[in-house]
Amino acid sequence: MSRDELAEELREFLLESSENLDRTEQDLVALSYGAERHEVLAATFRTLHSIKGACGFFELEHLTRLSHEGESLLAILRESPELLDDAVTQVLLDLLDGVRRYLAVIEATGGDGDETEAELCDRLRIVREGLQAAPVQGLSPNKAPAPRPEVQIAPNIVVFSPVENLAPDAVPSHINLLDQAIRVDVTLLDRLVNLVGELVLVRNRTLQIDSVLADADLNAAVQRLNLITSELQEQVMQTRMQPMESLFVKMPRLVRDLARSLDKQVRLATSGGDTELDRGILEAIRDPLVHLLRNSVDHGIERVEERLRVGKDPTGHIEIAARHEGGSVIISIVDDGAGIDPVAIGERALRLGLVSADALGTMTEREKIELIFLPGFSTSEEVTNISGRGVGMDVVRTNIEQVSGSIEVSSEYSKGTAIVLRIPLTLAIIPSLMLLVASQRFALPQLPVVELLRLERESMADELASVGGSLFLRRHHQLLPVVDLGALLELTEPVSLRELSIVTIVVVQLGGREFGLIVDRVVDTQEIVVKPLDSFIGAVGVYAGATILGDGTVAMILDVGGIASRAKLSLDEVAAADQASVQQVVTEEEIVLLVDAGSAGLVAVPVYEIERIEEIAAGEVQQLLARPVIQYREAVVELVTVSELLGDASDLPQTGQLRFLVPSFGVADRVVAIREIVDITTIPAVTSGSTIIGGKIVNTLSLAELLMAKVGGEDVGV
Amino acid sequence: MSESEQFCTFLIGEFRCALPVASVLEVHAHQRLTPVPLAPETVAGLLNLRGQILTVLDLRRHVLERSETLSAEPMTLVLDRDGQPVALLVDTIGDVVRCRSGALLPAPETIPRRLRSLTRAVIHDGDLVTLVFDPAAVANVSDATPSLSRVGGVT
**Percent of chain A residues past pLDDT 90, beyond the cut:** 7
Contact A440 B47 (CB under 8 A): no
Strand order in the sheet with A622-624: A610-617, A657-663, A670-674, A635-641, A627-632, A622-624
Contact B34 A546 (CB under 8 A): yes
ipTM of the prediction: 0.84
Same domain, A69 and A12: yes
pLDDT at position A275: 86
How far is Cα of residue B44 from the mean position of the Cα atoms in its chain? 13
Same domain, A377 and A400: yes
Structural domain includes residue A232: yes
Q: Which of A201, A484, A554, A556 to mutate to test the interface with B (most CBs of B within 10 A)?
A: A554
**Shortest Cα distance from B44 to chain A (angstroms)?**
11
Nearest to A491 among B37, B45, B47 (CB): B37
- CA A77 – CA A87 distance, rounded (Å): 13
Confidence of residue A689 (pLDDT cuts 50, 70, 90): low
Partners of residue B48 in chain A, C-beta under 8 Å? 548, 552-554
- CA A158 – CA A175 distance, rounded (Å): 7
Confidence of residue A555 (pLDDT cuts 50, 70, 90): very high
Partners of residue B35 in chain A, C-beta under 8 Å? 440
A553–chain B Cβ distance below 8 A for any pair: yes
Burial of A293 (0-12, 13-18, 19+ CB in 10 A): buried
- What CATH number is associated with residue A398? 3.30.565.10
Closest CA to A243 of A272, A200, A280, A284: A272
A184–chain B Cβ distance below 8 A for any pair: no
- CA A251 – CA A646 distance, rounded (Å): 74
Start-to-end C-alpha separation, chain B: 42
Where helices occur in A110-215 by DSSP H, the ranges are 118-133, 150-153, 172-180, 186-213
- CA A506 – CA A367 distance, rounded (Å): 26
* pLDDT at position A103 over 70: yes
Structural domain includes residue B153: no
Contact B51 A534 (CB under 8 A): no
Evaluated on CA atoms B63, B66, B72, B78, the torsion sign reads positive
* pLDDT at position A218 over 80: yes
Structural domain includes residue A464: yes
Nearest to A201 among B37, B45, B51 (CB): B51
By C-alpha distance, the chain B residue nearest A553 is B48
Structural domain includes residue B43: yes
Q: Over the stretch A298-324, which tens digit does the pLDDT of each residue have?
A: 888 888 998 999 888 999 999 999 988
Q: Which residues contact A133 (CB under 8 A, 6 or more apart)?
A: A141
**Percent of chain B residues past pLDDT 90, beyond the cut:** 28
Confidence of residue A28 (pLDDT cuts 50, 70, 90): confident
pLDDT at position A694: 65
Contact B51 A533 (CB under 8 A): no
Contact B38 A546 (CB under 8 A): no
Closest CA to B20 of B113, B154, B123: B123
By C-alpha distance, the chain A residue nearest B81 is A534
- What CATH number is associated with residue A521? 2.40.50.180
Partners of residue A489 in chain B, C-beta under 8 Å? 37-38
By C-alpha distance, the chain A residue nearest B56 is A534
* Domain boundary, last residue among A405, A424, A443: A424
Nearest to A546 among B38, B46, B51 (CB): B46
H helix or E strand, kind and range, residue A585: helix A579-588
Same domain, A165 and A221: no
* pLDDT at position B17 over 90: yes
Structural domain includes residue B150: no
Same domain, A55 and A25: yes
By C-alpha distance, the chain B residue nearest A491 is B37
**Shortest Cα distance from A553 to chain B (angstroms)?**
6
Compute the average pLDDT of residues A192-221: 85
Same domain, A452 and A490: yes
Compute the average pLDDT of residues A370-375: 79
pLDDT at position A650: 78
Please give the backbone phi and psi of residue A83, each rounded to the nearest 5 degrees, phi first: -75, -15
Strand order in the sheet with A589-596: A676-684, A589-596, A602-606, A696-700, A689-693
- When divided into structural domains, chain B yields a total of 1
**Shortest Cα distance from B93 to chain A (angstroms)?**
24
CA-to-CA dists, residue B38 to A35, A414, A538, A539, A540, angstroms: 58, 45, 11, 10, 6
pLDDT at position A575: 46
pLDDT at position A443: 94
Structural domain includes residue A718: no
Contact B57, B142 (CB under 8 A): yes
Q: For A529, how many CA atoms within 13 A lie in the half-sphere containing its CB?
A: 24
Evaluated on CA atoms A485, A490, A491, A494, the torsion sign reads positive
What is the full DSSP assignment across A209-272? Answer: HHHHH--HHHHHHHHHHHHHHHHHHHHHHHHTEEETHHHHTTHHHHHHHHHHHHT--EEEEEE-
Q: Going by DSSP bridges, is the β-strand pair B128-133/B15-20 parallel, antiparallel, or unpaired?
A: parallel
* pLDDT at position B87 over 90: yes
Nearest to A537 among B32, B33, B36 (CB): B36
B36–chain A Cβ distance below 8 A for any pair: yes
Contact A534 B36 (CB under 8 A): no
Q: Over the stretch A576-628, which tens digit does the pLDDT of each residue have?
A: 444 444 344 444 566 778 888 887 788 888 777 777 788 888 888 888 877 88
- What CATH number is associated with residue B134? 2.40.50.180
Contact B48 A542 (CB under 8 A): no
Q: Which residues of A62-95 are buried (b: 16+ CB within 10 A; e: fewer)?
A: bbbbbbbbbbbbbbbbbbbeebbeeebbebbbeb
Nearest to A537 among B32, B33, B55 (CB): B55
* pLDDT at position B8 over 90: yes
Closest CA to A80 of A135, A6, A149: A135
Contact B72, B85 (CB under 8 A): no
B56–chain A Cβ distance below 8 A for any pair: no
**Shortest Cα distance from A482 to chain B (angstroms)?**
19
Confidence of residue B149 (pLDDT cuts 50, 70, 90): very low
Partners of residue A548 in chain B, C-beta under 8 Å? 48, 51, 53
- CA A556 – CA B47 distance, rounded (Å): 11
pLDDT at position A692: 67
Structural domain includes residue B40: yes
Instruction: Kindly report which listed range (A5-14, A99-108, B38-47) carries the lowest average pLDDT score.
Output: A5-14
Q: Could you tell me the residue range of the domain that residue A354 belongs to?
A: 243-424
Q: Which of A537, A547, A557 to mutate to test the interface with B (most CBs of B within 10 A)?
A: A537
B87–chain A Cβ distance below 8 A for any pair: no
More confident position, A269 or A7: A269
Structural domain includes residue A540: no
Contact B39 A540 (CB under 8 A): yes
* Domain boundary, last residue among A372, A407, A424: A424
Same domain, A176 and A236: no
Structural domain includes residue B114: yes
Structural domain includes residue B82: yes
Same domain, A293 and A420: yes
Q: For B106, how many CA atoms within 13 A lie in the half-sphere containing its CB?
A: 2
Q: Could you tell me the residue range of the domain that residue B48 belongs to?
A: 4-145
H helix or E strand, kind and range, residue A71: helix A61-79
**Number of CB pairs, chain A paired with chain B, less than 8 A apart:** 56
pLDDT at position B132: 92
Same domain, A676 and A694: yes
Contact A537 B39 (CB under 8 A): yes
**Shortest Cα distance from A504 to chain B (angstroms)?**
20
Same domain, A70 and A172: yes
Contact A718, A624 (CB under 8 A): yes
Same domain, A258 and A169: no
Start-to-end C-alpha separation, chain A: 103
Structural domain includes residue B154: no
Partners of residue A552 in chain B, C-beta under 8 Å? 48
By C-alpha distance, the chain B residue nearest A202 is B51
| DSSP code of residue A297 | I
Evaluated on CA atoms A673, A675, A680, A683, the torsion sign reads negative
Nearest to A548 among B36, B37, B53 (CB): B53
Contact B48 A554 (CB under 8 A): yes
Confidence of residue A151 (pLDDT cuts 50, 70, 90): very low
Q: Average pLDDT, whole number, for chain A?
A: 76
* pLDDT at position A152 over 70: no
Q: Which of B46, B76, B78, B86 to mutate to test the interface with A (most CBs of A within 10 A)?
A: B46
Q: What share of chain B is helix, strand, coil (3-state, %, to 5)?
A: 20, 45, 35
Partners of residue B46 in chain A, C-beta under 8 Å? 537, 546, 554, 556
Structural domain includes residue B155: no
**Residue A125: helix, strand or coil by DSSP?**
helix
Instruction: Kindly report which listed range (B36-40, B91-95, B138-142) carries the lowest average pLDDT score.
Output: B138-142
- CA A601 – CA A641 distance, rounded (Å): 12
**Shortest Cα distance from A552 to chain B (angstroms)?**
7
Q: Which residues contact A469 (CB under 8 A, 6 or more apart)?
A: none
Partners of residue A554 in chain B, C-beta under 8 Å? 33-34, 45-48, 53
Compute the average pLDDT of residues A142-166: 35
Contact A440 B37 (CB under 8 A): yes
Nearest to B51 among A198, A440, A537 (CB): A198
Nearest to B38 among A540, A548, A553 (CB): A540
How far is Cα of residue A55 from the mean position of the Cα atoms in its chain? 45
Partners of residue A491 in chain B, C-beta under 8 Å? 37
pLDDT at position A228: 92
Structural domain includes residue A544: no
By C-alpha distance, the chain B residue nearest A200 is B51
Same domain, A558 and A681: no
Q: Which residues contact A204 (CB under 8 A, 6 or more apart)?
A: A526, A527, A549, A550
| DSSP code of residue A531 | B
Q: Which residues contact A70 (CB under 8 A, 6 or more apart)?
A: A48, A92, A95, A99, A124
Compute the average pLDDT of residues A452-477: 74
A713–chain B Cβ distance below 8 A for any pair: no
Same domain, A644 and A631: yes
- When divided into structural domains, chain A yields a total of 5
